[in-house]
Structure 1
């Protein structure tokens, strides 16, 4: 009970502080795989110039949104960058990439972009800890799927990962969110849909290799698939934090959830030092 009040109190103070001193950049990155420039928001702490290097958290947006969705809707992210002493990177995953390299559309290579090209460019341009021990990834909805999908497949790149209201199993939603444009129709490609759903990728994990935090609102339409993922992780003996709290698939929930996720990553970074 004491731990609960401490965490709740800390989040209250973080969310209600007016000292938003961190610097927000909008940067142009380049994907050689897709042959195009892609924007990203990068948030660096106020004391960026005085510190040798910082851990980095990649924060992915949901379906229909863009690179600036997080910073426009959750301005307290600037305070989190200061208080947790980390760099936040919010890349553009297009409106419906699902953060995959599409097997049906060669122009969509967002796995390659996020996990390889973007990480390399951020490490070159910013004072990051250039190691998986100083790198985490999370996101909401489509971005929650993307964060786990990328971290499961690239455990050499990310040391920690999270998901908020993630679409971690795409198979129950064959007509939604343009997934069929990325994978082909579910009717024709059911095995491809299953293979690219996070809930069926837990066999890629080694216990204690990747620090994981997953949360979802009880009233979210993704609640059942997140609970299914939790059961799969338990079956494979993969340690993870799993939280179900009141809430639905909306920004009210994500504004609250992201503070807990960043606290989890901060703890991971401090342990890894």
Structure 2
């Protein structure tokens, strides 16, 4: 499949309805503790460890509006840790919501903070240890211990999370290239102007869930000059044709930068994502792959989804690899 066919297949996602609960996958069961891809490389040098945070760290939530341009109305909610020490600049993560929040710019921009509770998730990561209820009960004892040990050894460094509205017709009536242009010319410059944010590509990540996960991969491929770190939570890769195309394009465009794919035991896309992981590993594409407990639904977004996204990007954008 060529790139034109690939984008045409992906554009069909705009017509899909977001499920509220997925059926159990038909493929063989996989361990929910599959957290590291075989091909993932080790960092070239030891990761710098963030300094111990003050006990009063909080998360500030900002609501930004933008001019209607470059494809339509735009809005973004920003999550920033406070206080940020003088002279410190933090990495930036662009986090994209799922199809259920595409109804309007306000709902979309607030998707991660309000619908998925990312501000609370962020606060809990700043004040460990975490407990099973922080994962909505969707965590193994082994993974919970790993995360708490990691946070005890090196507290969260902190990232500025930008959560923009993602239109339902992304990749269709709203071209990927046009939306990426808005990210690069409007959203990211404003983040760096109004907040102490780093501006280099290696310190800028993108991620998202479901529709937003697939859009994150496509945006990173479209604009490698903007995003140096790429993640995707339960990305909506719906069939084998998309797996074929995604394997080829990821190998071509993202093969030399940190990449992580996350699915779950009851994710409707789990089978195709397991296959994508196998294909990428077979091609020697360095990446990480994780399967956690849980459904393709809001409890997962509020629990493992948000925790895994924030922790991995925090570790990776600060110069190391996530836990």
Return the TM-score normalized by structure 2: 0.62
Give the match's secondary structure for 1:156: coil
Of residues 98, 109, 119, the one that matches 1:67 is: 109
Say whether 1:205 aligns with 2:253. yes
The Cα shift of 1:246 comes to 2.3
CA distance in 2, matches of 1:87, 1:225: 31
Closer/same/farther in 2, CA of residues 24 and 196 from structure 1, 3 Å limit: farther
The Cα shift of 1:81 comes to 7.9
Which residue of 2 is the match for residue 190 of structure 1? none
Which residue of 1 is the match for residue 200 of structure 2? 131
Q: What runs of 5+ residues in structure 2 fail to find an aligned partner? A: 1-32, 34-54, 102-107, 127-155
Give the match's secondary structure for 2:286: coil
CA distance in 1, matches of 2:182, 2:243: 20
The Cα shift of 1:117 comes to 3.4
Contact 1:171 1:197 in 2 (8 A): no
Which residue of 2 is the match for residue 89 of structure 1? 162
Closer/same/farther in 2, CA of residues 120 and 199 from structure 1, 3 Å limit: farther
Question: Relative CO higher for 1 or 2, CA cutoff 8 Å, sep ≥ 6?
Answer: 2
How many positions carry a matched residue from both structures? 229
Which residue of 2 is the match for residue 29 of structure 1? 66
The Cα shift of 1:206 comes to 5.4
Say whether 1:53 aligns with 2:89. yes
Q: CA RMSD in A?
A: 3.0
Which residue of 2 is the match for residue 250 of structure 1? 297
Return the TM-score normalized by structure 1: 0.73
Of residues 27, 37, 40, the one that matches 2:76 is: 40
The Cα shift of 1:62 comes to 0.2
Say whether 1:110 aligns with 2:179. yes
CA distance in 2, matches of 1:107, 1:135: 18
Which residue of 1 is the match for residue 316 of structure 2? 268
Deviations 1:7-37 (A, max 9, x none): xxxxxxxxxxx97721100001346422x44
Q: What runs of 5+ residues in structure 1 fail to find an aligned partner? A: 5-17, 173-192
Closer/same/farther in 2, CA of residues 56 and 147 from structure 1, 3 Å limit: same
CA distance in 1, matches of 2:304, 2:182: 28
The Cα shift of 1:236 comes to 2.5
Closer/same/farther in 2, CA of residues 97 and 20 from structure 1, 3 Å limit: farther
Contact 2:92 2:159 in 1 (8 A): yes
Say whether 1:222 aligns with 2:258. no
Contact 1:97 1:108 in 2 (8 A): no
Q: How does 1:228-247 map to 2 (within 5 A)?
A: 228-247=275-294
Of residues 259, 266, 270, the one that matches 2:307 is: 259
Deviations 1:21-67 (A, max 9, x none): 21100001346422x44110001111136343110111100002011
